[in-house]
Amino acid sequence: MIIVKEETCREIVGRDEAFEAVQNVFAAMAAGDAYNFPVIREAIGHADALYGFKSGFDRAGLVLGLKSGGYWPGNEAKGLTNHQSTVFLFDADTGQPKAMVGGNYLTAVRTAAASSISIKHLSRPESKVLGMIGAGFQSAFQMRAALEQREFEKVIGWNLHPEMLSRLDETAREAGLPFEAVDLDRLGAEADVIISITSSFDPIIMSAQVSAGTHLACMGTDTAGKQEVDANLVASATVFTDEVAQSVSIGEAQHAFSQGLISEQNIVPIGAVINGDHKGRTSADEITLFDGTGVGLQDLAVASAAADLALKQGKASVIDL
C-alpha cells in the first residue's frame, strides 16, 4: 500500500494537478461514468466531534475509495487543524487497499479547483474584478486558484469578521494585485466574479446588489441550513453545480429549491459544460452561479493524483499489508 503524507501532498499536488483531476472527474460524473455514494456524517458523542465518510467510484479513471474524517473543535488547542481527513483508495479490480493519503491540504486545493473550473467555463472572459466574501482558511486557496483563470486587475472583499481581511490583502499582494475591503453594495456592483466561502447560515448578498453578467461561485454552503446568497438570486441565475442531488439538499440551491423557486431540472451539472453538452453562459448579461457542494469523487481524484505523483517521484512509502 502506498502512503502519502500531508507534507508530501503539499509538495507535489499544485493547482494545475488539482484542476485537471477535478475537471476530469466532473466530466466523468456528468457522463454517468462516475458516481458518489451516500454521505455519512455523525456526531460521535465524544470530543464534540463530527465524523463521517464521503465515497464513490470513477469507472473512467478506475478510482475507488473514500475520504474519512470530520471536525474536532478541540484540536486547535492541541496545535492541530480542527478539520481532519484521510483518503483511502482501493484497487478497482481486486478491492485490495491501494493508498492512504493525507486529506487536509488536498481538501482545500480540490475545493479551490472546483470554483476555478466554474470561473474558467462560466465567467465573462473580460472579467477584471474578483470579489471575495469570506476570509477564513479556504479563502486564500480560493483566491489563488481564481486569479489564474482570468486577467484580474483587482480584488475586493468583505467578511463578517473584519479582522480576518488581512488574509485577503496578503494573498492578493502576493499575486501582485491591489486589495480593497468594501461593503456588500460595492462588492456586488463592482465584482465581475464573486466567490463566497463562509460558514454563514443567513444570506449575505442579496439579488438587488449583484450586477448583470456576474459569475458567482458559492462554495461555503455544504450542509443543510447553511446559506450565503439570497434565494431570489439563485432563482434568477443560471445555476450550475458539481452534483444536483447535493445542490438541492445541502448546497446553496437548497433554499430556492425548498421554497419552490427552482426545480432540479433548472440546475446544470458543470460536467455537462466541460463535456460540451451544455453551452454554459449564453450572454454577457446573464448571471451564472456555481453551487460547489463538495463531492467525495473530488477528494478521490486529487488523492489518486497524489499517490501516482508520489510513487513516480520516489516520495511515497510503500508497505506490504
The residues carrying an active-site annotation are 67
Handedness of CA 300, 302, 303, 308 (dihedral sign): positive
Q: Does 157 bind ligand NAD (CB under 6 A)?
A: no
3 state SS of 220: coil
- Residue 246 CB neighbours (<10 A): 20
Stretch touching ligand NAD by CB under 6 A, among 117-125, 160-168, 231-239, 279-287: 160-168
Q: Of the candidates 20, 31, 51, 137, which one interacts with ligand NAD according to CB under 6 A?
A: 137
- Choose between 140 and 272: whose C-beta lies nearer to ligand NAD: 140
In the list 8, 24, 138, 288, the residue contacting ligand NAD (rule: CB under 6 A) is 138
User: Which of 69, 102, 134, 157 forms a contact with ligand NAD (CB under 6 A)?
Assistant: 134
Stretch that binds ligand NAD, among 7-15, 39-47, 53-61, 136-144 (CB under 6 A): 136-144
SS3 240: strand
Q: How far apart are CA 192 and CA 76, in angstroms?
A: 36
Give residues 300-319 in contact with ligand NAD (rule: CB under 6 A): none
What is the contact mask toward ligand NAD in residues 205 to 244, using x (rule: CB under 6 A)? --------------xx-x----------------------
**Beta strands, E only, the chain:** 2-4, 34-36, 40-43, 50-58, 63-71, 83-90, 97-102, 129-133, 154-158, 179-181, 193-196, 201-205, 215-218, 227-229, 238-241, 267-269, 288-291, 317-318
Query: Per CB under 6 A, which of residues 73..112 are in contact with ligand NAD?
Result: 107, 111
Residue 116 or 139 having the CB closest to ligand NAD? 139
| Closer residue to ligand NAD, CB minimum distance, 64 or 197 | 197
Helices (H), 164-260: 166-174, 184-190, 231-236, 244-249, 254-258
Please name which of 311, 299, 308, 288 lies closest in space to residue 108, comparing C-alpha atoms.
299
In whole angstroms, the minimum distance from the beta carbon of 103 to ligand NAD comes to: 11
Min dist. Cβ of residue 161 to ligand NAD (A):
4
Please state the closest distance from residue 298 (CB atom) to ligand NAD, in A.
7
The footprint of ligand NAD on residues 269-298 (CB under 6 A) is 292-294
Query: In whole angstroms, how close is the CB of 113 to ligand NAD at the nearest point?
Result: 10
> Phi and psi at residue 199, in whole multiples of 5°?
-105, 35
Q: At what angle do helices 15-30 and 137-147 cross, to 10 degrees?
A: 90
102 vs 292, beta carbon nearer ligand NAD: 292
Amino acid identity of residue 238, one-letter, is: T
Distance in Å, CB of 205 to ligand NAD, minimum: 11
C-alpha cell at 225: 441550513
Based on CB atoms, which residue is closest to ligand NAD, 2 or 143? 143
Tell me the sheet residues that pair with 156.
131, 180
Q: Would you say 98 or 299 has its CB closer to ligand NAD?
A: 299
The number of CA neighbours under 13 Å toward the Cβ of 187 is 23
C-alpha cell recorded at residue 24: 476530469
How many chain residues interact with ligand NAD (CB under 6 A)?
Answer: 24
* Burial readout 104-122 (b: 16 or more C-beta within 10 A, e: otherwise): bbbbbbbbbbbbbbbbbbb
Report if residue 160 touches ligand NAD, rule: CB under 6 A: yes
Binding interface with ligand NAD (CB under 6 A): 107, 111, 134-139, 159-161, 164, 197-201, 204, 219-220, 222, 292-294
